[in-house]
Amino acid sequence: MSYTLKLRIWRGDKEGGEVKDFPVEVSEGEVVLDAIHRVQATQAGDLAVRWNCKAGKCGSCSAEVNGRPRLMCMCRLSDFEEDETITVTPMRAFPVIRDLVTDVLFNYEKAKELPSAQLGPRDADGKRRMAQIDVERGQEFRKCIECFLCQDVCHVVRDHEDNKEAFAGPRFFLRYAELDMHPLDTHDRRELAQGAAGLGMCNITKCCTEVCPEGIKITDNAIIPMKERVVDRKYDPLVWLGNKIGLR
Ligand code: SF4
Ligand code: F3S
Ligand code: FES
C-alpha cells in the first residue's frame, strides 16, 4: 500500500538554508532513506545525502528525524502516522556542508588525541595472554559504527560550540574505557580522560545511550566506570547521585 508522505527536508549550505516541503509517494515497509532517495530521483537531483550500506552498519546516514538523531536507513516510516509530517535535518552539532551532509571532522580530530594501545612485554614463550572475561568486556565497545549520533545528541557540545575543544564526547569515552580496561595496555588513560578529554563535563544525562543504534550502554558500561576509575567514588558527586537515583 502506498501513500503520500508529508516530508520536509532541510536544504542549504554553510551560508544558511531552510526546511522545504517534498511530498513524496512511499510504500509500506520503507524507511526514511528510501523517501529521501525518491525525492532525489524525482524532485531534487542535487539533494546531498550521505549513505552507504542501507543496513545500519556503515554509520554514514546519520541525520535528525523530527529533531531526534537517527540513522535514516533504520528509521521505519511505519513508526509514524501516515498523516504525520516528517522533518529531516542535518546533525545539529556539526557544521553543514550541504543539505543533509555534515562535516564530522571534529570526531576524527578527537580520535587523534587518543593514544593507541601500547602492549606490555610478551610472556616467556613469546605469546600474549588475556582472560576470556577481558576479551568479552571489550566486545560491546567494538560494536561502535562511528555514526556519531551520540556525539550529536550530547548537550555538552550540541548547544555549546565552545565546549568542543575541551570535550571528546561519548564515542571517545567509550574508546578510553575500552583501552583502559584492556589488561595488556600499559597506558594509564585516567588523567587524560578526565583532563584533555573532558570526562568531568559529562553529567550522566544518558542521552548518548538512548540514541546509539548499536545499543551500546555508553553511560553505564563506559562513562560511569571511567569516572569511578578516575576519582574515588566517595568524592565524585555525580557518581554518587547516579547510584542514588538509580541511573545504574
Ligand atoms: Fe554511534 Fe553508538 Fe558509536 Fe556513538 S557509540 S558513534 S551512537 S554506534
Ligand atoms: Fe553527554 Fe552521554 Fe554524558 S549525552 S552528558 S556524554 S551521559
Ligand atoms: Fe549505512 Fe545507514 S546507510 S548506516
Q: Which residues pair with 6 in a beta bridge?
A: 85
Global pTM reads 0.90
ipTM of the complex: 0.99
150 lines ligand 1 (CB under 6 A): yes
Other Cβ atoms less than 10 A from the Cβ of 165: the count is: 11
**Which residue ranges have their beta carbon within 6 Å of ligand 3?**
51-54, 56-61, 71, 73
Cα(57) to ligand 3 centroid in Å equals 6
Cα(91) to ligand 2 centroid in Å equals 16
> Which domains are assigned to the chain?
2-102 (3.10.20.30), 104-245 (1.10.1060.10)
Cell representation of residue 163: 565546549
Q: Are strands 101-102 and 96-98 parallel, antiparallel or unpaired?
A: antiparallel
Contact (Cβ atoms closer than 8 angstroms) between residue 78 and residue 127: no
Which of 32, 61, 144, 211 is the pocket-test mutation for ligand 3 (most atoms within 8 Å of CB)? 61
Mind listing the pLDDT tens digit for each residue in 33-83? 999 999 999 999 999 999 999 999 999 999 999 999 999 999 999 999 999
Cα(17) to ligand 3 centroid in Å equals 25
Cα(217) to ligand 1 centroid in Å equals 10
Q: Between vectors from CA 163 to CA 243 and to CA 238, what angle results, nearest 5°? A: 10
Mind listing the pLDDT tens digit for each residue in 93-103? 999 999 999 99
Rounded distance between C-alpha atoms, residue 206 and residue 241, angstroms = 14
